[in-house]
Amino acid sequence: MISEKDTALINRFKFYLKAERGLSEVSISCYLDDLYQFINWVEMTLFDVTHSDITAYMSDLYDLGLEASSMARKRSALKSFFDFLLENEYPTQVDFDKIPSIKLNHHIPDVLSIDEMFQLLDNIDTESDLGVRNRAITELMYATGVRISEMLNLKTSDLMFNEELIRVIGKGNKQRIIPINETAMEWVEFYQKSARLQLKKNEETNILFLNYNGHKMSRMGFWKVLQKLALQSGIMKTISPHTIRHSFATHLLESGANLRIVQELLGHSSIRTTQIYTHVDMRFIQEEHALYHPGNKRFSPKK
């Protein structure tokens, strides 16, 4: 919750951007979106923020795979705000000279744009049982941001589609619940009712995604599948299962989702180990996911 004092301060900053900097409404909106995203992450009044808090925030963005250009924009927006405080003699503990600059050529895992992600998904041939499985897997991974190990270990009992959720077991055997969108659910349900029955043959297994022998897929097996899908879709970037996970996080963050929510969805622990996080309500997580995930309500087998 943003305090009244911070709200008044942000309104003065907005007026400053328009009257003194002469920025367009679109640019002002981008500045404020980046500022609000930081406020939701830091969970303290703006006057109490230090350069260490901003450095930790930028580190979390980097850890989630946000593109350097987007990180540089967010840093610039925050610098403009705290420069505004200094120029107008508001009290602030932020010294931007102590906050590392963003190198635009630094290496981060490849991230697909939203158009490239849809291109990958929409070019999967679903005429075969393996094709339906591949579409269901890729839709689920992009909808949820799960790790490849979490996807491979999913069981049919982990699907909580009545609540639009799935259950995964992450690192350290920690369980978390993740929202899943309608499109991904419908592809997984279509796979379960058709392709999975054929792939399962006479095997008795509760593993969700199966290989052509009716057994659990291997990491290398899916990696090869993904390379083939990328080639068939005409995407020239190097793609791995982690690319989909990073794309999931990046698309949510660039659409304005709360960083803490994205961390919760990914099963990340913040690098700020001295801070105890408050509990995040699942309904709020679902609302954030539904609001900001680009893949919601796309083409599905039922449409």
Domains of the chain: 4-98 (1.10.150.130), 114-292 (1.10.443.10)
Q: Which of 21, 98, 171, 237 is catalytic?
A: 171
Question: In Å, what is the CA distance from 91 to each residue of 13, 48, 119?
Answer: 14, 9, 49
Q: Which of 155, 242, 297, 302 is catalytic?
A: 242
Condensed to tens digits (0 to 9), the pLDDT of residues 235-259 reads: 988 788 888 988 998 888 888 888 8
Question: Has 174 been annotated as catalytic?
Answer: no
Half-sphere exposure of 275 (CA within 13 A, CB side): 15
Question: In Å, what is the CA distance from 26 to each residue of 79, 134, 251?
Answer: 18, 39, 19
* pTM reported for the whole predicted model: 0.66
Condensed to tens digits (0 to 9), the pLDDT of residues 47-83 reads: 899 988 898 888 888 777 787 888 889 999 999 999 9
Q: In terms of DSSP H, where are the helices of 93-240?
A: 114-122, 129-144, 148-152, 182-193, 195-200, 219-233
Q: Of 63, 52, 46, 57, nearest to 11 (Cα)?
A: 46
Question: Has 242 been annotated as catalytic?
Answer: yes
Intervals of the chain under pLDDT 70: 1, 104-110, 171-172, 268-285, 297-300, 302-303
Question: Has 75 been annotated as catalytic?
Answer: no
- Asked if residue 255 lies in contact with residue 113, where contact means CB atoms within 8 angstroms, the answer is no
Q: Which of 74, 75, 196, 245 is catalytic?
A: 245
Treating both helix axes as pointing N-terminal to C-terminal, what angle do 51-63 and 259-266 enclose, rounded to 10 degrees? 40
* Angle, alpha carbons 273-142-164 (nearest 5°): 85
Q: In terms of DSSP H, where are the helices of 163-281?
A: 182-193, 195-200, 219-233, 241-254, 259-266
d(CA 90, CA 88): 6
Question: Has 155 been annotated as catalytic?
Answer: no
Question: Has 133 been annotated as catalytic?
Answer: no
Q: Give the pLDDT score at 303.
A: 52
Q: In a 3-state reduction of DSSP, which class is residue 28? A: helix
Q: Which of 74, 133, 147, 246 is catalytic?
A: 147
Q: Give the pLDDT score at 173.
A: 75
